[in-house]
Amino acid sequence: MNDSPNWFDAYFSPTAVLRLQVTRRLFEVSSPFQKISVFDTCDFGRVLALDDIINVTERDEYIYHEMLTHPALFTHAGPERACVIGGGDGGAMREILRHGCIGSAVLVDIDRMVVDASRTYLPAVSCALDDPRLEIRYEDAAAYIAGRQDEFDFIAVDSTDPAGPGERLFTPEFYRNCRVALRTGGILTAQSESPFFDPGIVENLYASARTAFEHVWMYTAIMPSYVSGLWSFMFCSRGPDPLRDFQQQRFAESVFDLGYYSADMHRACFALPPRIQQRFAHVLS
């Protein structure tokens, strides 16, 4: 955190920053893997930060977690088993387990202290972590997924930035292992950084995924608390097309109380601004 006890600086780059006024500092610890901080702010409510990078805010976390999960789950014809890589706050798993067709799920996060902090300070985010369908594993996710074959219908990579333990989750080897871990017709999504501030990271990530998946799409959402406000997600498929195969009837019959994702948003989020489409065309389907 910065020198002032009343502000948190979320850096977009060395020369650009989002500054949040802090009203109360609740928790700060250095785990074996990263610095974990929880604090209350004026505009975004409670915030979970990892290594001084915003991970979750109460005000807009629903956008990120809905968009990481539902575009894939409403494209797959009948997902039954899911895996979240990272995502120890529990928000992505909360959205996945809204789907009654999911019979079992695995959350793999290397840092138990993130899960514990979310359980304590972000109960609305972590509320599904005690679901009986869920198994939580505290281990290296890259090593875990390397030992799986034809096991999952859906994998969500809810990773930190490509540094430290998260670096292995951006490699070609990781995505080749994920493809093997997916069943035929399976889908993988991943958070894929800011196309404006991190184009090199974005390009390398999609190139890594293209070594394993023939079809790779980018889609976007507005995330006010994340770098630049426009956030990208990656959609990798072992068959289904997110536009052609959208399960309109299943979505219409769902009773989810969603704040951002909708049938219209499903279609719209895959329409990229021309500059982004041109910049990354060589690594997109």
Write out the H or E segment, with its range, that includes residue 7: strand 7-13
pLDDT cut 70: percent of the chain above it: 98
Residues 6 or more apart from 266 whose CB is under 8 A from it?
Answer: 70, 71, 74, 242, 246, 251
Q: Report how far residue 144's alpha carbon sits from residue 152's, in angstroms, rounded to the nearest whole number.
A: 13
Answer yes or no: CATH 2.30.140.10 is held by domain 7-57.
yes
Q: Does 22 score more than 70 pLDDT? A: yes
Helix axis angle for 172-181 and 199-210, nearest 10°, is: 50
pLDDT number for residue 158: 97
- Domains of the chain by residue range: 7-57, 61-283
Query: 């079992």: which residue's tokens?
Result: 104
Q: Does 265 score more than 60 pLDDT? A: yes
Q: What is the pLDDT of residues 90-139, one digit of tens each?
A: 999 999 999 999 999 999 999 999 999 999 999 999 999 999 999 999 99
Active site residue 116: no
pTM of the prediction?
A: 0.96
Q: pLDDT confidence of 61, banded at 50, 70, 90?
A: very high
Instruction: Please tell me if the domain spanning 7-57 has the same topology as the one spanning 61-283.
Output: no
pLDDT, mean of residues 236-246: 97
pLDDT number for residue 163: 76
Q: Does 3 score more than 50 pLDDT? A: no
Q: Does 285 score more than 90 pLDDT? A: no
pLDDT cut 90: percent of the chain above it: 92
Among residues 43, 158, 161, 241, the one annotated as catalytic is: 158
Q: Determine if residue 274 is left, alpha or beta; phi over 0 gives left, psi from -120 to 50 gives alpha, anything else beta.
A: alpha
CATH superfamily of 61-283: Vaccinia Virus protein VP39 (3.40.50.150)
Q: What is the pLDDT of residues 153-204, one digit of tens each?
A: 999 999 988 877 788 899 999 999 999 999 999 999 999 999 999 999 999 9
Q: For residue 159, give the nearest of 27, 64, 245 by alpha carbon.
A: 64
Q: Does 57 score more than 70 pLDDT? A: yes
Q: Which residues are 39's β-sheet partners?
A: 25, 47
Q: What is the pLDDT of residues 26-48, one digit of tens each?
A: 999 999 999 999 999 999 999 99
Q: Does 2 score more than 60 pLDDT? A: no
pLDDT number for residue 5: 62
- The number of beta carbons lying within 10 Å of the beta carbon of residue 89 is 26
* Mean pLDDT, all residues of the chain: 95
